[in-house]
Amino acid sequence: MRVPIAPNFLNAGFTPVINNNTIQPALSLPLEMHALYYYADSVSMERHNLGDACYEYSSHVLHYWDLARPGSCLRLALTAYSHAVIGRNRGVRQALGLAQRVYAKAVEEIQKAMSTISSDTIYQVILAMMLMGSYENVMYFSRESTLPPDAVGSRFWKKICHEKGAGGLLIVRRERGFAMNAELEKAVRQKCLRVIILRGAASAAWFEDGRSWGEEGHELELDSLMIRVLILRNKSVSFLGDMDASDLGTIDEAKSIAMESYTLDYDLALWALRLSQDWEFHVSWRPSQPSSNGTDARVDIPSHSYPSVGHASTWNRYRALRLITNSIQKRALCALRSLSNDAFLVTDIQRCQDNIDKLAVDLCRGAEFSITRQNTARGSEASTLLNVIHPSVAALLAWPLTVAVSVDAVRLSEKTWLKGVLKAVARSLGHTQLESVSDEGEYDI
């Protein structure tokens, strides 16, 4: 089947309209054009609004799409993904059917491209693989799935992971001496690391040195801490779920995990204290609306302000990392508490809970800032926060929100609010896995 591809809208002066992310009413355009315009609009938020601190791999797709030949794996992958998203978000059955057919063709083309990989095509193949991973998140993670859960609580993580293939190609690029796009490689690697952490999996050693992937300064320091969180989560996934209280070796391991997570959380806290002033966020306090019982009682609510949405995103990911370490530490301490009456354990467990409570509140405020800031840039019609999250902002919120709603110890009040935002993020991205996380919970952190 020949899949029509839209004209070169980059060189033709294509300017996406940024309003409420709807399809523009050009009925004479074929569905393929609607889908590509829809995707282009979804990644069109300008860098000055997002900031340089957090840029996703998707911001590079249109550039390499422009370089790719018709029928290439990247063009097919973008066609499949864009049709999947528009089909889910707008209920276009024709788009969903075409997406499935083109997806199968894209996988075939990726396999062919792997055998003839070159400096000109390697990033096209990497991006095609990343899009295929996003496609599966849109199409194959519905609540109707009856797959049994695994060790991390997810029903899906043992499925084929396209991000793993993309990560492998990064080392191929190095081994063959192909020219490097450092910004794209950092974005792909960071995405892969976040996927690995959610899945509680292990990473390859060559993937763990952030300095060799272009990270520097405070971002390199946070990257190193992220790798330590990845290793800790992988170590604790099966252990904390199946601890044998009668095994002295198991008890020693629980103590080791508790100490390792404590040290890691301490180092994460130090990272935040060492940031320069241009990375600081400001907290202000505003009164809530009067309570429903008609009294004048008011509760102060914190509000955050950041230099950019990108800065807020970095802080939110930092908070997600600390939520993971405190959750693991609390679980290890609770396991040890069941074996003794040590009063110090009770104090340490409460300290972990206090940390989780504060981190969850800060994550709520950081997410609120990101949504409010992007609405300001998009016009007065974007007044209902959770109905108009721009996909560029939604992509930055997806991972920390997924972590937060998956941490059992997060209080119900914050978890309910965070689940509501995650559902809005899922709607924005057409992401059925995130919708399932919001509704049912997929991960056990």
Extract long-range pairs of 245-249: CB within 8 Å, 24+ residues apart.
245/335, 245/338, 245/339
DSSP string, 45-87: --HHHH-SS---GGGGHHHHHHHSPTT-HHHHHHHHHHHHHHH
Give the pLDDT score at 402: 96
Whole-model pTM: value is 0.86
Q: State the sign of the Cα–Cα–Cα–Cα dihedral 339, 340, 343, 344.
A: negative
Give the pLDDT score at 32: 86
Give all strands (DSSP E) within 208-339, no chain letters. 282-287, 300-305
Buried residues in 374-387 as b, exposed as e (16+ CB within 10 A): bbebbeeebeeeee
pLDDT less than 50: residues of the chain? 1-27, 143-144, 289-299, 377-385
Residues 242/253, Cβ–Cβ less than 8 Å: no
Give the pLDDT score at 131: 95
Give the pLDDT score at 49: 65
Give the pLDDT score at 375: 57
Q: Which residues does 293 contact at the CB level (< 8 Å), separation at least 6? A: none
Give the pLDDT score at 240: 67
Give the pLDDT score at 156: 53
Give the pLDDT score at 251: 81
